[in-house]
Structure 1
Amino acid sequence: MRYLTAGESHGPQLTTILEGVPSGLELLVDDINIELARRQKGHGRGRRMQIEKDQVQIVSGVRHGKTLGSPIALVVENRDWKHWTHIMGAEPLVDIKEEDVKRKITKPRPGHADLVGAMKYGHRDMRNVLERSSARETTVRVAAGAVAKKLLEALGIKVAGHVLEIGGVKASKVKYDSLEELQQITEDSPVRCVDKEAEKKMMNAIDTAKENGDSIGGIVEVIVEGMPEGVGSYVHYDRKLDAKIAAAIVSINAFKGVEFGIGFEAARMPGSKVHDEINWDQQEGYTRKTNNLGGFEGGMTTGMPIVVRGVMKPIPTLYKPLQSVDIETKETFAASIERSDSCAVPAASVVAEAVVAWELANAIIEQFGQDRIDIIKENVENMRKYAKEF
């Protein structure tokens, strides 16, 4: 499977086309809209979330509630477009000089794509860069991930995410009995955190950052249960599934790091305490006594829960902007200001779920068949039975 996205932050719409989704998968607009609404929630979100109430249109590839096997096109309209038609319109400017266009940006924001993107594509107005490099694009990545989640759900694979840390405040009481319970608790949390004490401190940290015109980042975690053993491969670097997931996590706007299982902590521990000892019984087949490696060995799934974390830096658009240089005058100024969040970590948790779900669904399709969901389901069940008896 693969998908492409198109659209600018303040353009008329965001679009994604999904190719390779098998036929016969049940898919409704509400399946996607639920995920889009989740992305827009969270303490610390800016005014854009009140302007845009994201709703998807399925314009191809689905008929009567089921996928056809043909490309699926999803569209999310930007409701604020009516205020940007002159600034972002596709038609040539008439009787208006380019330098007179409102909201032209010549002062790049440190930490954003503005300056190097303008250098790369030869833009003197950096709005041409920031409109596409904006995290607004993750809207349709979440839409694509919603489709992937439906595919995984049909195969008995569950995906959930939550926030572990915001602005240096860490969740210490991360306890839940099932992924369903984790989802229920975090959906009711303004910061998607299981630890209620940490939740309050995180919200206070976000409020303080907002009052100071600043922003803060954090750490999110995605857990997946039900993946069959042996998905991915050890034979080439570009077929290792954990590598693909790592790339997907770091591809999310503002994400700068990724780890699986105990992650970087493994560097501080002896091997005898890192590697997961193997058990077998007739009922469950092969399991591990621990899950320090986060569900992967040799780039392949072990059948244990997949546990992956991503590090999100603070958003670079600040209401007390950092020093920058005007590319036209070369004079020092405060960087440009666009509408922004003081913290988007809770929303980023939803995006992380989406990109992980897509990579897992793609790996399933690659290994167990592509055209029909019923055949894929049969092949996955056969693999589970084979692995248990191996």
Structure 2
Amino acid sequence: MLRWITAGESHGPALVATIDGFPSGIQVTTQTLRQALARRRLGYGRGARQKFEQDDVTVLAGIRHGLTTGAPIALEIKNSEWPKWVTVMSADPVAPQDLLIDAGTGDAREIARNKPLTRPRPGHADLPGMLSYDHADARPILERASARETAARVALGAVAAQLLSQVANISLVSHVISVGDVSAGDDRQLPTPGDEDALNNAEMRTLDPQLNARFIDAVDRAKKDGDTIGGVVEVVAYGVPIGLGSHVQADRRLDTRLAAALMSIQSVKGVEIGDGFRQAALRGSAAHDEIIRDANGNVTRASNHAGGIEGGTSNGQPIIARAALKPISTVPHALRTIDIATGEEAVGLHQRSDTCQVVPGAIIAEAECALVLADALFDHAGGNSVTEMRRNLQSYLDAIGERI
């Protein structure tokens, strides 16, 4: 069993991520993590924060000379902007007069950093978090609820992806399939891992140049209107063997685990496995993936409506998962709210300037899927070392190969 957790605030000194139960012998370097974090920073519609906020990642434990040791892996992602936030985010008490200094800079709509944030933003965790955790200020809530935390998840996902690749030759790729009401449609081209460079070079992470331009236009129109815009991302996992996950308990179902992981991403409000909602409109004779033999005599499927998962278990087809991201909740022209300090009507705080987050959303979704699949693989072929895991997996694959 793999276990992972993150800690840290958006404007704190650093994010920290740990993963426990990882086998020894997996090749991972700092450069692997840096490349993953760089992908998260790509995409059209991002705000100025991406230009000055760098991801300085350090391996604190669990990796030696480029190989995992079997010990818990600990990663740190420092906040390059921390000096600007030392007072307001100090772990130790600060003098009250220090918090009266107007430290805000930049966009006139942004509230000064050091002042209490008492106008919760619709769509964010601000109001329920303030009430649930008994805070008079939204700062402790929004700092942890921020999507900045996903940098730690992407770093962990990069580690998990190495396990999947080096043990089982499983590879993942993600792309954007809709922005607002502009969609790639059901006949879209599925990318492969070989398309990664092309996807990274596309501003809206799609292989279709015309669709890329239409996505950009949708983002531009939203920005011009002082608004934000969401979309749908898709993750495809290739090489997943039959049998990951289980039908025997709800929390062991692979689709359950993937859905929960994707839904945990900030802004995600919907998850779909395979053809999902479209499949619900089909009759049974058309909705299910018939089992056939290909020209070489290998067992395969005539289609993949199920997205590679049946009965909570992978069926050998590519796993396809989608996540729908709502528009960013902090709308530039501000939405109505109340001021918790006075009870009076007000407008929401403006804390960021992104217009669209679907491109990094695809990378984050890919990382979450990698973590879940790595855990499911470990459940099925776990061991203390990469050698043991490969041996266990091969034994299982040989056995099912003889049966079918």
TM-score range, shorter chain: over 0.9
What is the one-letter code of the residue matched to 1:328? A
Partner of 2:94: 93
5+ long unaligned stretches in structure 2: 102-112
Partner of 2:364: 351
Partner of 1:330: 343
What is the one-letter code of the residue matched to 2:225? N
CA contact (8 A) 1:26 1:150 kept: yes
| Distance in structure 2 (CA, Å) of the matches to 1:102 and 1:142 | 30
Once the two structures are TM-superposed, the CA of residue 282 in structure 1 deviates from its matched residue by 8.9
Partner of 1:39: 40
Tell me which of 105, 111, 116 is aligned to 2:123: 111
Tell me which of 169, 173, 189 is aligned to 1:175: 189
Tell me which of 182, 192, 214 is aligned to 2:205: 192
Aligned ranges 1:288-367 → 2 under 5 Å: 288-367=301-380
Q: Secondary structure at the match of 2:71?
A: coil
| Distance in structure 2 (CA, Å) of the matches to 1:148 and 1:274 | 32
Partner of 1:68: 69
Q: Secondary structure at the match of 2:164?
A: helix
Once the two structures are TM-superposed, the CA of residue 286 in structure 1 deviates from its matched residue by 2.1
CA contact (8 A) 2:99 2:114 kept: no
1:307-352 CA-to-partner distances (Å, cap 9, x unmatched) read 1111000010111110000011111111011023100000000000
1:269-301 CA-to-partner distances (Å, cap 9, x unmatched) read 100000000013695632111000000111000
CA contact (8 A) 2:327 2:356 kept: yes
Identity %: 41
1:163-189 CA-to-partner distances (Å, cap 9, x unmatched) read 00001111247336x613432321111
Aligned ranges 1:195-214 → 2 under 5 Å: 195-214=208-227
| Distance in structure 2 (CA, Å) of the matches to 1:26 and 1:282 | 37
Moved more, 372-381 or 12-21: 372-381
CA contact (8 A) 1:174 1:194 kept: no
Partner of 1:59: 60
CA contact (8 A) 2:87 2:99 kept: no
Once the two structures are TM-superposed, the CA of residue 55 in structure 1 deviates from its matched residue by 2.7
Once the two structures are TM-superposed, the CA of residue 235 in structure 1 deviates from its matched residue by 0.7
5+ long unaligned stretches in structure 1: none
CA contact (8 A) 1:255 1:312 kept: yes
Partner of 2:388: 375
Partner of 2:18: 17
| Distance in structure 2 (CA, Å) of the matches to 1:135 and 1:285 | 44
| Distance in structure 1 (CA, Å) of the matches to 2:155 and 2:96 | 40
Moved more, 380-389 or 63-72: 380-389
| Distance in structure 2 (CA, Å) of the matches to 1:292 and 1:388 | 24
Partner of 1:255: 268
Partner of 1:130: 142
Partner of 1:7: 8
Q: Secondary structure at the match of 1:87?
A: coil
How many pairs were matched up? 389
Partner of 1:224: 237
| Distance in structure 1 (CA, Å) of the matches to 2:299 and 2:396 | 13
Q: Measured at CA, do residues 17 and 181 of structure 1 come closer, stay the same or move farther in structure 2, by a change above 3 Å?
A: closer
What is the one-letter code of the residue matched to 2:156? A
| Distance in structure 2 (CA, Å) of the matches to 1:164 and 1:123 | 39
Once the two structures are TM-superposed, the CA of residue 86 in structure 1 deviates from its matched residue by 0.7
CA contact (8 A) 1:171 1:193 kept: no
Once the two structures are TM-superposed, the CA of residue 370 in structure 1 deviates from its matched residue by 3.0
Q: Measured at CA, do residues 282 and 211 of structure 1 come closer, stay the same or move farther in structure 2, by a change above 3 Å?
A: closer
| Distance in structure 2 (CA, Å) of the matches to 1:182 and 1:214 | 32
Superposed CA RMSD in Å reads: 1.6
| Distance in structure 2 (CA, Å) of the matches to 1:184 and 1:37 | 13
CA contact (8 A) 1:158 1:224 kept: yes
Tell me which of 242, 265, 268 is aligned to 2:278: 265
CA contact (8 A) 2:11 2:79 kept: yes
| Distance in structure 2 (CA, Å) of the matches to 1:76 and 1:104 | 27
1:80-114 CA-to-partner distances (Å, cap 9, x unmatched) read 11101011111102253878782320000000000
| Distance in structure 1 (CA, Å) of the matches to 2:274 and 2:43 | 26
TM-score, normalisation: structure 1: 0.96
| Distance in structure 2 (CA, Å) of the matches to 1:227 and 1:361 | 10
TM-score, normalisation: structure 2: 0.93
What is the one-letter code of the residue matched to 1:114? D
Q: Secondary structure at the match of 1:25?
A: strand
| Distance in structure 2 (CA, Å) of the matches to 1:214 and 1:239 | 40
What is the one-letter code of the residue matched to 2:315? T
| Distance in structure 1 (CA, Å) of the matches to 2:302 and 2:151 | 38
| Distance in structure 1 (CA, Å) of the matches to 2:278 and 2:189 | 20
